[in-house]
Structure 1
Amino acid sequence: MSSNTAVLSKVPASPSSTKPDPVSKPTTKKVPRLALLDGLRFLAAVLVVLFHYTAWHHGFWGTETAKEAWPVLSRFSVYGNMGVQLFFMISGFVILLSAYGKSAGRFVGSRVGRLYPGYWVAVLATGFLVIVMWPQIGAGLGMRELLANLTMFHPAMGLRHIDGVYWTLWVEMRFYLLILVLIALRLLTVRGMTVLAALWPVFGLAAALTGEDAAAENLMAEYAPLFCGGILLFLIYRFGHSTLRWALLGFNVGIAAYFTGVKGPQEAMELVGYELPAWHYWLIVVGLFTVVALLVLTPLRKVQWSFMAVLGALTYPVYLLHQVWGWWLIDHLSPVLGQYATLPLVIGIIFAAAFLVQRFVERPLAKPLATATSRGLEIIGTRLGLKKNETVGQGR
């Protein structure tokens, strides 16, 4: 998961069918929840947690590296950073599921309500840890970084993350901004999304192969095919199968496998110390896309297990809180309790904290914040002469 080498641096209206793409009216009908997709997101979070606790190169277990403390488990948890690839695949699907047919204001409101309440708590809690309680790991982080991190746009300001895991949020935020631009330009249509999924990964791959590193970074070259693969699964799920959609999906899977096969072994060696072949990562990428496709395109999409929604709700706060607080707990508890008692205890504490954040922060604040943001943007849009509640993305 960690692309940073320093500790802190860095809806459907109906199931798939073969009917032509409709030009439909906006609907307020509640979309059935894809319960197993929630469970898969939770699994991705667990994989990332295990990677950071038992594989990555920290020495908080009292050994030089985590893999020395966990020589057997780390052989498996070294692949846990692939949970981030899975997050991006799922994000490409679910963001389109939630954005399609919405106005720009409603889309922004839904993202603000979903992302910020728990994030603000995590930034403040982790900021207190690395600035006040454990400044040696913060390496000079201060109030400037803390305040900037609260915006989630601190990388654009050239400022560091309070917690290294926030790098993925900046990747996600740029994807959301791209979707917002498409909505504003009335291009979030079936044709527009198909063109995006065909061209964005190609431009990114071309930039990477020609050594245009700045362009590749701006295009998010290694993550574009993950998002676009999710977008194509949404198109198949929402509008049905077609040769073009499946061909483009296979194309994006291939590009994603290429990038992951390059970066995966590098991170395994640099961050853990294991030499792993590229083909392991090729198979993982293909396998992850296959699992997501099975959960959204087969009868498995109809499974409605309520506890999966609970697990899905915990995923985001677990991800936000787990890394630095987990390391601090490991550093303080393992000398007293030993590693085998400390690991499950720390995981339990982090999940309990995530539950409290979800129950007492996200749940009560998400909807009011989303509504207030959407209404505020509608008022601004009305004053600028834009049509209120105008929806986009309906049709070809």
Structure 2
Amino acid sequence: MKFNSLREQVSNRSQVYSVQMLRGIACLAVYFVHFFSDQKLLPVSKFLVKASEYGYLGVQVFFVISGFIIPLSMYRNKYDIQNFGSLFKRRIIRIELPYVASIVLFVLLKFIGYIAYGTQKTFDIDWSTVLLNIGYLNVFWGKEFINHVYWTLFVELQFYIYIGLFFGAIINKRFWVRHVAYLVIFGLNYWWVGSLLFHSHILIFMVGIFAFQYAVKIIELPEMLIGSVIVLFGNYYWTSNILHLDNSTPIALASIFALGFIFLVKQRWSILDFLGKISFSLYLIHVPVTLVLLPILEPYLHRPYYILIYKLGILICTIGISYIYYENIEKPAMSLSRKV
């Protein structure tokens, strides 16, 4: 059975390539919603414009991936609550160093854009907001994220804290222990209100957690499927009736797609594997890089077909720059984090 092949990969400590490829898909989706949901592209590509409007679902896919791969990594490394400090240090090095470097790059590219295209007499940047973005302190000071993709890193940081504290209960084979832990997590987050906070996304992370539990034989297939259905229905109710959002169904479908991709896709596609490898770097820097590249020619292009070709060319350039960022920033941070 195809579902069992995932268990074989996990038991053999093999890399789960479907997860890496899924990262590439999710990152491309986020990129497309930022730069291809543009009415200027109509009518040359109505499908592309319409599809890109759902690119935000790439974030939900990332949450499912985190729910699966982070506890899996902890399980393989025999994590214990006493190792919480080391887990957090590795997170700081692995994630926060590239994140802070991307903030520096954001300021640099904004300055380059000001020199090249700016019409203002002063370099317009709020330095207090920039500094508060380091450590996500801007959230508590009521300041915005200078790059709007950063909010997801704040949510992921909270997930690291929760999974570090509750990991022992999550891998416990006793049914009631696991489910009491779930109720505690849900209860704590119910009181902690805010769209940037973990409680608004916990049910999507849970889909990945159920997949992890099945992969390491803590639960069996019926419990994984029933649990996933319950949390997706719960998320549907939460988003539609509590948050009053109209994207409940797309979020559920994106979560199901992510779960199915992790379990069922076994063929390795080189391009998706490559995009998955650099996905974090691409995710961090695609907005400032693209915003610097777009004004070079876009103001002079008036035909939708030419604009589409130009944007695809910028996408390729951004991927190339992201690879350089990966090799020189993210990859060294990964190596350093393994030494902690």
- TM class by shorter chain equals 0.7 to 0.9
Structure 2 segments unaligned to the other structure (5+ residues): none
Pair 181,86 (structure 1): closer, same or farther in 2 beyond 3 Å: same
Counterpart code for 1:108? F
In the alignment, structure 1 residue 313 sits paired with structure 2 residue 277: yes
In the alignment, structure 1 residue 91 sits paired with structure 2 residue 70: no
Counterpart code for 1:147? L
Counterpart code for 2:208? G
Q: SS at the partner of 1:110?
A: helix
Indicate the residue corresponding to 1:330 in structure 2.
294
C-alpha separation between the residues in 1 aligned to 2:89 and 2:62? Answer: 21
Indicate the residue corresponding to 2:94 in structure 1.
114
Counterpart code for 1:161? F
What do the CA deviations read for 1:240-282 (whole angstroms, capped 9, x no partner)?
A: 415444322211111233455579996xxxxxxxxxxx5x751
In the alignment, structure 1 residue 150 sits paired with structure 2 residue 134: yes
- When the two chains are superposed, the root-mean-square deviation of aligned CA atoms in Å is 3.4
Is the contact made by 1:48 and 1:82 (CA closer than 8 Å) also made in structure 2? Answer: yes
2:107 to 117, 127, 136: 127
C-alpha separation between the residues in 2 aligned to 1:30 and 1:105? Answer: 28
Counterpart code for 2:283? Y
Counterpart code for 2:216? R
C-alpha separation between the residues in 1 aligned to 2:12 and 2:89? Answer: 17
Indicate the residue corresponding to 1:250 in structure 2.
229
Indicate the residue corresponding to 1:358 in structure 2.
326
Pair 112,241 (structure 1): closer, same or farther in 2 beyond 3 Å: same
Indicate the residue corresponding to 1:67 in structure 2.
39
In the alignment, structure 1 residue 163 sits paired with structure 2 residue 135: no
What do the CA deviations read for 1:132-157 (whole angstroms, capped 9, x no partner)?
A: 74489999643333333233444245
Q: Please state how far the C-alpha of 1:327 moved relative to its aligned partner.
A: 2.6
Indicate the residue corresponding to 1:81 in structure 2.
56
C-alpha separation between the residues in 2 aligned to 1:32 and 1:108? Answer: 24
What do the CA deviations read for 1:191-216 (whole angstroms, capped 9, x no partner)?
A: 55544445544775xx5xxxx7x635
In the alignment, structure 1 residue 178 sits paired with structure 2 residue 142: no
Counterpart code for 1:365? A
- Aligned pairs, number: 314
Q: TM-score, normalised by structure 1?
A: 0.68
C-alpha separation between the residues in 2 aligned to 1:80 and 1:113? Answer: 29
C-alpha separation between the residues in 2 aligned to 1:188 and 1:247? Answer: 17
C-alpha separation between the residues in 2 aligned to 1:366 and 1:230? Answer: 23
Q: SS at the partner of 1:147?
A: helix
Is the contact made by 1:35 and 1:306 (CA closer than 8 Å) also made in structure 2? Answer: no
Is the contact made by 2:91 and 2:337 (CA closer than 8 Å) also made in structure 1? Answer: no
Q: Please state how far the C-alpha of 1:324 moved relative to its aligned partner.
A: 3.2
Q: Please state how far the C-alpha of 1:48 moved relative to its aligned partner.
A: 0.9
Pair 359,264 (structure 1): closer, same or farther in 2 beyond 3 Å: farther
Structure 1 segments unaligned to the other structure (5+ residues): 1-13, 18-28, 56-65, 267-277, 375-396
Q: Please state how far the C-alpha of 1:95 moved relative to its aligned partner.
A: 1.2
Indicate the residue corresponding to 1:49 in structure 2.
31
Counterpart code for 1:249? S
Pair 304,195 (structure 1): closer, same or farther in 2 beyond 3 Å: farther
Q: SS at the partner of 1:162?
A: coil
Q: Please state how far the C-alpha of 1:218 moved relative to its aligned partner.
A: 7.8
Counterpart code for 2:312? P
The alignment-based identity, stated in percent, is: 21
Indicate the residue corresponding to 2:204 in structure 1.
226
